[in-house]
Amino acid sequence: MGTFFANKKDYLNKKWHVVDAQGQIVGRLATRISRILMGKGKTEFTPHVDCGDGVIVINSADAVVTGNKEKTKIYKSFSGYPSGQRERTFERVMQEDPTHVIKHAVKGMLPKSRLGKRMITRLLVYPGKEHPHAAQLAGGMGQALPREKKTVKKEALVGQK
């Protein structure tokens, strides 16, 4: 039996998945999302073809991190100008833009190529429960992913050191 090679035309109609980030650990959630975007769960996965599906993430403001990362994790960016390096903590990023944390984590797990840039465009992240993408989910084209069993409540993280 020969090896299956996917063609681009086989994956023009992509499914959409809804992921609820409430109480989910950011890194574990990003792993699940990146596997869907790449299409790794499909039997006809081919590394050089964009065969993944789209993902809509809701409640990104309620995603959590374990340990003391809420205060110690630092996101760095550089504008390209002298003295243009910015450092922000996880807490500050979550206050300013809660969608950035999940986008940043997923982007780091995708291929660093044109294919990865195309995959990240199919990631739609929203801080609340509402999203304007009912059309993608209509007609059986989308499905909600089951929640991961390992969840952490924010109250449990407050007392940790």
Q: What is the CATH number of the domain that holds 36?
A: 3.90.1180.10
Q: Percentage of the chain surpassing pLDDT 70?
A: 84
Q: Which residue has the tokens 């992921």?
A: 19
- Is residue 128 a part of any domain in this protein? yes
pLDDT digits (tens, 9 = 90+) for 48-81: 888 899 999 999 999 999 999 999 999 999 999 9
In a domain? residue 89 = no
Q: Based on the structure, what is the number of domains in the chain?
A: 1
Please work out, in degrees rounded to the nearest 5, the angle formed at the alpha carbon of residue 35 by the alpha carbons of 57 and 58.
5
- Please give the average per-residue pLDDT across 94-105, as a whole number: 96
Task: Tell me, yes or no, whether 150 lies in a domain.
Answer: no
Instruction: Please check whether residue 35 lies inside any domain of the structure.
Output: yes
Does the pLDDT value for residue 157 go beyond 60?
no
pLDDT at 89 over 80: yes
Q: How far apart are CA 37 and CA 12, in angstroms?
A: 14
Q: What is the pTM of this model?
A: 0.82
* Integer Cα distance of 36 and 52 in angstroms: 6
| 23 domain-assigned | yes
Domain residues for the domain of 22 are 14-64+98-137
In a domain, 5, yes or no: no
Tokens of 80: 């390209």
Average pLDDT over all residues of the chain: 86
Q: What is the pLDDT of residue 120?
A: 97
- How distant, in Å, are the alpha carbons of 39, 75, 90, 107 from that of 122? 12, 23, 24, 11
